[in-house]
Structure 1
Amino acid sequence: MNPKRILVVGAGHVGLYAALRLSKKLSSREAEVVVVDPQPHMTYQPFLPEAAAGNISPRHSVVPLRRELRRCKVVAGAVTRIDHHRKTAVVQPISGPTREIPYDHVVVAPGSVSRTLPIPGLHEHGIGFKTIGEAIYLRNHVLDRLDVAAATPDPAVRRSALTFTFVGGGYAGIEALAEMEDMARDALKYYPELKPEDMRWVLVEATQRVLPEVDRDMGAYTVQQLLKRNMDIRLDTRLESCLDGVVKLSDGDSFRSDTIVWTAGVKPSPMLDATDFPRDERRRVTCLPTLQVVDGDRVVDGAWSAGDCAAVPDLTKEPGNYCSPSAQHAVRQAARMADNIVNVVRGREPVEYKHKHAGSVASLGLHKGVAQVYGIKMTGWPAWFMHRTYHMSRIPSLNRKVRVVVDWSLAFFLKREVVALGQLHDPREEFAEASQPVGAGRA
């Protein structure tokens, strides 16, 4: 029997966990697992705020693919088209010509990207918060703004440099805002020219509450804690423009801000537009509870999907509800999907995915947090400890677990690093200025 080829498109939460499980459960005689992703690592996104704040090393919030997927074939490149009718994917490697990869089963898991709106100035001045690169950039940018504010004699420049605007009150926005404010407050110990009250941290949320994944009282508690830290919380307010760094809000207020962070939701990866898979009105791949792709009433043979890019029915709720785009669902769906592919390869029937959302945990800075898990609500230090414990248990590989715990342990005895490495973002600038261009016609 020729081994089946299982192509995994994307190595995020779904792709990595599914490929890892498939490679452990299927022998090389049964299947070959091929993973395609342009990045050499999986980013554990719940750790992005801590990486940005300097609580853990950025390298420890990512999982190297080749180290973890030793029994899989890893292709560094991007899938540019999937023709499932022919069961073929077109891959653009990071260098060189495109290639076609035929398959028997495909796991469609490219994940999601930031969902932006046509707001004037957002493209030029906004910063996302979905990748490790964006997290490192935000950290360096915030610390750089402190340097600018400390050096300038111009009060307007200082005020703009010390105004930090975050758009979106979900978990990503709240954690990014709280962790960065916590880090900046620590950093001010080394800036005698600046006082904590000089900083202005603004949260803009279009709805009337934050953290929609938890009960309203927990969201209200979060707002109260942020207000106690003198943050400016704007609920039921929209960002209308940020041209030239001037933030204009729907409540009529406007102010200059050098930092505008966009965390207002996600949408399925645009890579799906280059496939022939059925999609719903939100552009997600339509799936059965078994994680098989479905076109109306017809199961699409050999096609599977899960995570942020998939519309997976939530069997714990009324019909018409779908699983939320969270790491909690993605990891469990990946395991169920891998087991179902194993079942199909071995001639058995797939099993439906069913998981009741356990709740959510969020960090609000060092030793501060909010949690609602299986109906139990916690705040403060216990919630923060639960946040760290849960995510440490979920990040793949013992190697990363140990490194994260070491980072946290050292933080009890050593002060947080608050230095900006801004040259990382343009490392050739100094060399380019020092070197001289050589004319093409010079003998």
Structure 2
Amino acid sequence: MVGAGFAGVACVRRLERRLTGREAVISLLSPFSYQLYLPLLPQVASGVLTPQSVALSLRRSQKHRTRILPGGAIGIDTDAKVCVVRTITGDIRTEPYDHLVLTPGSVTRTFDIPGLAEHARGLKTLAEAAYIRDHVIAQLDLADASEDEAERAARLQFVVVGGGYAGTETAACLQMLTHNAVKRYHRLDPELIKWHLVDIAPALMPELGPKLGEAALAILKRRGIEVSLGVSVSSVDDDNVTLTDGRVLPCRTLIWTAGVAASPLIGTLGAETVRGRLMVEPDLTVPGLPGVYAMGDAAAVPDLAKDEAGAICPPTAQHAMRQGKVAADNLVAALRGEQTYPYAHKDLGLVVDLGGIDAVSKPLGVELHGLPAQVVARGYHWSALRTNVAKARVMTNWLINAVAGDDFVRTGFLASKSGTLKDFEYTDAYLTPEQVRAHTASLRAVASS
């Protein structure tokens, strides 16, 4: 098993329940021994939740018997039936498999924009969320200490790129962080703090529909966030973010959430892809690769609940968790010579938490905004947390934050790092298909003999 996201953990838990120790040995490749509840990362970045609240331990269950390998798969050779693994100590080793379940997830999608790789920060990992919180508070500290008006204005201007759920929630939650924090900085004029949300799309979160998209837009504008649609970033440097409409924003913080792309691990397979995601059959098997299953963000799973030809499931948690269970059932069925079944799930709706009492939600097609939407959004996230300990921590954090607020302190976490996407997502760690085959040449020779 590769990956400990929603799909991977759901699959492992199902396999542990359905297979005995005599039937199979289950191994899980993951750099961290926790499942990250990704939808709540903006609340970690804004300090509403602690990092531990959204990191659900894989070792807490007393029934746990899966072997956890602390590392990441950086290449796969399906001929030799091995994964090439980089451990957390940097060593490279191979792990053989009989059946392979791929749930490596996704990475932040980037473009060839001058300066982007050197200056953009993402919000895809727990470390990034903690880093961004420190970084934003550091800008307030530095602006407060500066006597240079230009520097002060630049440090208090923030740009978020991406008008999807992640970008909208990130801009909304971090704007609330700075809005509340600036009250502790008596030398700073709150009017100097400016947040920009930029997206090339013509509408905000189009999946929600025009009515809720407009409701979310109204909430952001009421908070003073400047939303620019139909616009993207043309270049970034140490001091400025230049937009495609010609505007130059003096800025020291660019948060990039402009979509996701399948894990680069998929490129090492040499298999067919759909829009960058690994093509799979409705039963979640990979065509032409016996014994290989794939799901989640990295797989183009046919959406059988839609009448639209060629529709694939969106990369959301509700689909990933259910795909994991179906993949486990189909793997068990294949081992026992039983019938497998296709994956089908009708989308239950979407929730977007904008912080405080603001949210927009569409549960089962019902459009909500304001406090009712916030109740639905937080209720959904709370119920989706896998362990009771995590539920208790998240609820306690929400209550403490509502009553006592935040102290807005920096931890100094990774202060020496530049905080770019590569620093946290390790997108340059993966091997090319040629490198994989060179690394496993001896194993393939043994397999063929």
Q: TM-score, normalised by structure 1?
A: 0.90
Q: Is 1:379 the equivalent of 2:372? A: no
Contact 1:54 1:417 in 2 (8 A): no
Structure-1 separation of matches of 2:151 and 2:10: 47
Structure-2 separation of matches of 1:313 and 1:113: 21
Identity %: 38
Q: Is 1:30 the equivalent of 2:30? A: no
Q: Is 1:288 the equivalent of 2:281? A: yes
Q: Is 1:42 the equivalent of 2:35? A: yes
Query: Offset at 1:233?
Result: 0.8
Q: Is 1:101 the equivalent of 2:90? A: no
Query: Offset at 1:82?
Result: 1.7
Report the counterpart of residue 311 of structure 1 in structure 2: 300
Query: What is the one-letter code of the residue matched to 2:303?
Result: D
Report the counterpart of residue 159 of structure 1 in structure 2: 153
**Cα-to-partner distance string for 1:373-395 (whole Å, 9 max, x where unaligned):** 11101111111121111011112
Query: What is the one-letter code of the residue matched to 1:10?
Result: G
Q: TM-score, normalised by structure 2?
A: 0.89
Q: Is 1:396 the equivalent of 2:391? A: no
Structure-2 separation of matches of 1:217 and 1:13: 30
Query: Offset at 1:114?
Result: 0.6
Shift of the 423–132 alpha-carbon distance from structure 1 to 2, 3 Å rule, reads: closer
1:174 to 168, 180, 185: 168
**SS of aligned partner of 1:420:** coil
**1:33-72 alignment to 2 at 5 Å?**
33-68=26-61, 70-72=64-66
**1:41-440 alignment to 2 at 5 Å?**
41-68=34-61, 70-95=64-89, 97-276=91-270, 278-295=271-288, 300-317=289-306, 318-426=308-416
Structure-1 separation of matches of 2:325 and 2:190: 46
Shift of the 247–23 alpha-carbon distance from structure 1 to 2, 3 Å rule, reads: same
RMSD of the alignment, in Å? 1.6
**SS of aligned partner of 2:281:** coil
**Cα-to-partner distance string for 1:406-437 (whole Å, 9 max, x where unaligned):** 2122223322231122254349xxxxxxxxxx
Structure-2 separation of matches of 1:423 and 1:86: 41
Query: Offset at 1:271?
Result: 1.6
Shift of the 160–302 alpha-carbon distance from structure 1 to 2, 3 Å rule, reads: same
Structure-2 separation of matches of 1:175 and 1:63: 21
Query: Offset at 1:101?
Result: 2.4
Contact 1:129 1:135 in 2 (8 A): yes
Structure-1 separation of matches of 2:214 and 2:17: 45
Shift of the 413–281 alpha-carbon distance from structure 1 to 2, 3 Å rule, reads: closer
Structure-1 separation of matches of 2:25 and 2:222: 55
Query: Offset at 1:70?
Result: 2.1
Greater RCO, 1 or 2 (C-alpha within 8 Å, sep 6+): 2
**SS of aligned partner of 1:204:** strand
Contact 1:92 1:99 in 2 (8 A): yes
Consecutive unaligned residues in structure 1, runs of 5 or more: 1-7, 428-443
Report the counterpart of residue 437 of structure 1 in structure 2: none
Contact 2:75 2:268 in 1 (8 A): yes
Name the stretch that deviates more: 111-120 or 21-30. Answer: 21-30
Query: What is the one-letter code of the residue matched to 1:191?
Result: Y
Contact 2:134 2:413 in 1 (8 A): no
Query: Offset at 1:97?
Result: 4.9
Consecutive unaligned residues in structure 2, runs of 5 or more: 418-449
Query: What is the one-letter code of the residue matched to 1:76?
Result: P
Q: How many residues are paired up?
A: 415
Structure-2 separation of matches of 1:196 and 1:373: 36
Query: Offset at 1:177?
Result: 0.4
Contact 2:142 2:155 in 1 (8 A): yes
Query: Offset at 1:115?
Result: 0.5
Query: What is the one-letter code of the residue matched to 1:181?
Result: Q
